Structures are given as C-alpha cells and as structure tokens.
Structure 1
C-alpha cells in the first residue's frame, strides 16, 4: 500500500508505504503538551516507510523528552512526529483529508493509549490501555 498526504497548503508532502505499526488515540501528558491537543489521534509508521518532500518544513525537538515534530513553515500544520520509540507518527487528520473511499475506516484508531492520563472520557468500543498497548486495560467499573 502507498498513500500520499500533504499539509493544508501542499508545501509539505509525505509518502507512506506499507502498513502502519499502530493506529491510536494517545492520551499521554507528553503528547497532550507537545501537540497541544486533549488526545493525539495518529498513525505510527516505521521510519523506513515514510518519505517527506518538503522545502518548507521546520522541526522542533522537545527540550526534555525524546519527542520531535515537523511542521510546515507556511501553514503551520504539524505533519509528522517522532515518538520515544523512534516511530514516525502522522496525524490522522492528514490521512482522512486524502478522502479516498474507505479511508475513514482504514485510518481509524484501533485503541486508546495512556488512558489513565486522559483529560476527557471517550465513549467508544475501542480498547483503552491504561498505559502502553501491552499493559492493563481500563474498566469503567
């Protein structure tokens, strides 16, 4: 599989090849603070599966944590992150923008991560891992 996504103004283009490693909504405090969102909905890819064409890209590394993000210098959209495991994370909003048939279900998150750190409850049927995806699950009881 191959897909091409772009920032809002089109000056940063990312080609994704193969299959993502994970599709998740992350509730960790690090993502919340770094990306400025209540939860970060993203698809994680092996770095070898991601190629970026960008004349207008800027990057920012977290001053204390192993997080990095790339954003378009023209429109400001965050186009790519790198998490502490070295995986590249693409915001799901960019993937949904492609608009091809079936893209919503293809890129929809399959889990919640770090749900223990959530700032908002989410009512859906996805598994909600209290920490990483190999840990305990949240139970509303």
Structure 2
C-alpha cells in the first residue's frame, strides 16, 4: 500500500479478518526478552499500532488470547488454524509481525512498514550490522555506540 490507508489481513484459514487503518506508531526490530519469550523468536520485526487502528471481523470465537503469565503482554492466534495473528505490548499497542504483512504482499514487506530502529539492543542475542539506530532499551533511551 503506497500511502496510509486501510489494509486487510486474514489468518491462514480465513476465520480471522483484521483491518488496519493509517500508519503504525512504531516500526522496529525488537530484541527484548519479553518478545523472545512471548513469540518464541530471537528477535521480532514488527509494527505497533494504536488499538483503535485495528479491528477484528470474521468468527468472533476464533481469536484465542494467550496472556503472558508474568508480563503485561498478550499473544493472539486463530483457534482454528493456529496462526499467530498479533500481540499486545505492555503499553496496550497492537504488535503485528512484519511477516504477516509480507505474506499479503507477495512476500515483500511494503517500504512504509520497514523497520526504522532496533529496540532493547542491550538484550540482543547477536550483533546486527545495519544503519538503523540501535536503542539500548526503549526508543526514548540511550543509543548503542
């Protein structure tokens, strides 16, 4: 999608239909332990959205909520096909993995959704060489030198 607008994403079986409007609040590669734990991945490339920008349609019973047992975070998946739909971070933002958008764009992430920073780089599992700013913690903190 070339500019801010509306995008519709579906889970593998189509039971969950998610409509996203506007531009994301953040576009990042997250290295935090919480994302590692919640998503089962060494790092997470994702966009964050305000809750009012994301609506769910389709089967209302299909959205399965997994609240993290220790952190104020949630992971949502489809009860029928098991696909990860999105997460919700401690700030209440909807976190959508970039892979979901890329799948709906012939395997390519739209440039307007590409990461613009690394977050929690102090917790990284490995170094990444790129030109993006690398915040040691959140985006309002110090940068990796």
What TM-score results when the alignment is normalised by the length of structure 2?
A: 0.89
Shift of 1:54: 4.1
The partner residue of 1:78 within 79, 84, 91 is 84
Alignment-derived partner of residue 66 in structure 1: 72
Query: Closer, same or farther in 2 for the Cα pair 1:53/1:135, shift >3 Å?
Result: same
Kept in 2, the 8 Å contact 1:96–1:107? The answer is: no
The CA distance in 2 between the partners of 1:124 and 1:14, in whole Å, is: 32
C-alpha distance in 2 between matches for 1:54 and 1:119: 38
**CA distance in structure 1 between the aligned counterparts of 2:6 and 2:40, rounded to whole angstroms:** 29
Specify the SS of the correspondent of 2:64: strand
Give the 3 Å change call, closer, same or farther, for CA 66–54 of structure 1 in structure 2: farther
Residue deviations 1:70-119 (CA, integer Å, cap 9, x gap)? 1011221211111000111111111112217x853121111110000011
Q: d(CA) in 2 for partners of 1:131 and 1:98?
A: 31
Unpaired segments of 5 or more residues in structure 1?
Answer: none
Instruction: Provide the C-alpha distance between the structure 2 equivalents of 1:54 and 1:76, rounded to a whole number of angstroms.
Output: 15
* Superposed displacement of residue 25, structure 1: 0.8
Q: 1:16 aligns with which of 13, 20, 30?
A: 20
Q: Which moved more, 1:114-123 or 1:54-63?
A: 54-63
Alignment size in residue pairs:
138
Secondary structure at the counterpart of residue 85 of structure 2: strand
Counterpart check, 1:51 vs 2:52: no
Whether 1:127 and 2:133 are equivalent positions in the alignment is: yes
In 2: Cα distance, 1:77 partner to 1:128 partner: 30
Q: TM-score, normalised by structure 1?
A: 0.92
Mapped partners of 2:31, 2:119: distance in 1: 6
SS in 1 for 2:110: helix
